[in-house]
Amino acid sequence: MKISEALQNMSKSYLHRIIDSFSREFAKRDEEDARETIIKNIEELTDSNRIAKILKPEGPYSERILISTILEVIINRPENLATEIEIFDEVVHFEKEILRFAKDEDFLKYEDHNNLEILRAVLEVALEDDSVSKEEIKLISRLRKKLKISERNGRVVLAQLKNYPQKGNQIHSLSQVKDAIKGLQKKGIIFYCNAINGGTCVIPDEIIDAVKKSVGIELNNSGFEKLIAALSKDQLSTILENENLPKSGVKVDLQQRLIQTGIQPSVALDYLSTDDLYNICSSLPGVKVSGTKNERIERIIAHFDSLLTRDVSEEASPGELYYEYLVELATRDRENLLVNNVISKDIDMNNAFEEGTRFLFKEKLGFNLVEMEGNENPDGCIKFPNGQLFMWDNKSKETDYSFPGNHVRQFKRYIRDSIERVSCFLVIVPKVKNEAARVAKKLKVESGSDTDIAIITAEDLKWLADGWSAKKNNGKFNLHVFNYTGILTRPELEDQMDTFL
């Protein structure tokens, strides 16, 4: 979620927490002024140096552990958002898992014993005064990396010393988690969207990379699993052998064993040869194969970091799955669609885009769709209460939509062949060029029925549908929101909704 979208789902007090993260000089303003102030200062808010500075280790050690875990939870959530209760539940699950590992005598059996003893001795000294300074944290982190002990296993050692996640291995409480979340809001890291699902914590797209870097995360769990799945069995064996781990078993066993190590992706890939890295790069769409070993490693990680994951239930219908990936279907984002099993081949994209849009109008906006006879039809149709028609057509494209002449002729035919008057014709596209607005106005005149020709991106249409379906007791959606000729940008949509909803 982008900052601009998050701001629209935040009320005054939460907006001012963000403002206070970069300046205390602004007087308390109303919501619109607060949003405008944040947008005007977005460059400072998203500055990576600011984010690195405010996320430096400070405060009690257990609080720093909690803040790091909260950020990891959100980073590993689809679209980097979660409710406070979801965060609390996952924090507790993570902390209990570390404590369970600490009780397992065999859990660290593959780690170098001498290295573990060195780390354990340094931690014991640091914990003697019940306070770990930020200088000590830096030293421990550098030592752990030098000893090739993962962050996860470092926490296991800490738990064995009865100091994870707090002294006496006490689990963090709900109130502690909420206080930490509030603190991260005041730092401008978490945006609390109180209008979404009763309250949702978001790390916006513009700052997520800087946050990940500050907490030492190269790939979220989903991206790392996809990277591991792309490796051959021989490559997995090489990495495991270098980590002093068993390399026996079928490929899926090796994948799970490697995932469970908590190893950093860059460390894992560095064990592979330059030829291995060349072959991996060549298998990934758009990834350059030339360069040094480190450059190839960086490109591979960047590729898997760019892959997205939507929160879709395994029981979801095909229409719901396609709806969640509507933007990727519109932009023909082949890599994300294939890796997330949304499509099995390129030819599936158009049908999936159309079915996802039908799901949007039927399930999210609550309309009965008109069944059309024959083959020469738009992709969807709904009746207005007065019997006139609302039609739409999907146009997926890897580049911006310009409204070509063959589409003008196609849509004009749909409109003129209809027995009932078509009040509005909506064109759903990936992104759109400004010149398309002029073509839409011309088609309105040439339609012969004064039909409004609206163009909307799949992203904005999904934004509207998500927002509408999230509201309680919202009544019936008014299709007149789409009665507009030209490009229905988000500001225009908001104006139309203010008028008709």
Q: What is the pLDDT of residue 27?
A: 67
Range of 150-154, 309-313, 366-370 with top mean pLDDT: 366-370
pLDDT in tens, 188-202: 999 999 988 889 999
Q: Position 239: which residue type?
A: I
Q: What is the pLDDT of residue 374?
A: 72
**For the chain, which residues make up each domain, given as ranges?**
3-214, 221-306, 366-500
Q: What is the pLDDT of residue 129?
A: 75
Of 8-12, 27-31, 326-330, 458-462, which gets the smallest average pLDDT?
27-31
Looking at residues 104-130, what average pLDDT do you find? Answer: 89
- The pairing of beta strand 452-457 with beta strand 191-193: unpaired
pLDDT in tens, 213-251: 988 899 999 999 999 999 999 999 999 999 888 888 999
pLDDT in tens, 469-501: 877 566 789 999 999 999 999 999 989 998 998
- Give the tokens for residue 237: 């064996």
Q: What is the pLDDT of residue 474?
A: 65
Q: Tell me the CATH number for domain 366-500.
A: 3.40.91.30
In this prediction, residue 420 has a pLDDT band, given cuts at 50, 70 and 90, of: very high
Looking at residues 245-268, what average pLDDT do you find? Answer: 90
Tell me the pLDDT of the chain averaged across its residues.
92
The residue among 190, 205, 193 whose CA lies nearest residue 54 is 190
- The pairing of beta strand 200-202 with beta strand 81-82: antiparallel
Looking at residues 344-372, what average pLDDT do you find? Answer: 95
pLDDT in tens, 422-469: 999 999 999 999 999 999 999 999 999 999 999 999 999 999 998 888
In this prediction, residue 148 has a pLDDT band, given cuts at 50, 70 and 90, of: confident
Q: How far is Cα 164 from Cα 158, in angstroms, rounded to an integer? A: 6
Q: How far is Cα 133 from Cα 156, in angstroms, rounded to an integer? A: 20
The residue among 72, 51, 5, 16 whose CA lies nearest residue 262 is 72
Q: What is the pLDDT of residue 472?
A: 55
Q: What is the pLDDT of residue 130?
A: 67
pTM of the model: 0.82
Q: How far is Cα 69 from Cα 82, in angstroms, rounded to an integer? A: 13
Secondary structure of residue 301 in the 3-state scheme: helix
> What does the DSSP assignment read for 12-60?
HHHHHHHHHHH-S-SPP--HHHHHHHHHHTHHHHT-HHHHHHHTSS-S-
Would you say 355 and 319 are in contact if contact means Cβ atoms under 8 Å apart?
yes
Rg of the Cα atoms in the chain: 26
Helix ranges (DSSP H) in 127-273: 134-146, 151-160, 174-186, 205-214, 221-229, 233-242, 251-259, 265-270
Q: What is the pLDDT of residue 198?
A: 84
Q: How far is Cα 62 from Cα 166, in angstroms, rounded to an integer? A: 5
Residue % of the chain over a pLDDT of 70 = 98
Burial of 252 (0-12, 13-18, 19+ CB in 10 A): exposed
- Computed from CA positions of residues 159, 162, 163, 166, in that sequence, does the dihedral angle turn out positive or negative? positive
